[in-house]
Amino acid sequence: MNTPQSPSTQCCPPFDPAPWDEKTLEWKNKKFIKSSVFTFFYMPIGFGALMKKLMKKVEKADAKMADQVCLSDCTSKWNMDIYLAVDKEIPETENVTLSGKFFCKVYEGPFKDTGKWCNDFELLAKNKGLNLKKLYLWYTTCPKCAKVYGKNYTVLFGQVN
Q: Is residue 127 part of a domain?
A: yes
Residue-wise pLDDT for 114-135, tens only, equals 999 999 999 999 999 999 999 9
Dist CA 31 CA 150 (whole Å) = 31
Q: Which domain holds residue 45?
A: 23-160
The domain total for the chain is 1
Q: Is residue 49 part of a domain?
A: yes
Dist CA 139 CA 156 (whole Å) = 9
CATH number of the domain that residue 84 is part of: 3.20.80.10
Where does the pLDDT of residue 2 fall: very low under 50, low under 70, confident under 90, or very high at 90 and above? very low
Residue-wise pLDDT for 131-158, tens only, equals 999 999 999 998 889 999 999 999 999 9
Residue-wise pLDDT for 46-87, tens only, equals 998 999 999 999 999 999 998 899 999 999 999 999 999 999
Q: Is residue 128 part of a domain?
A: yes
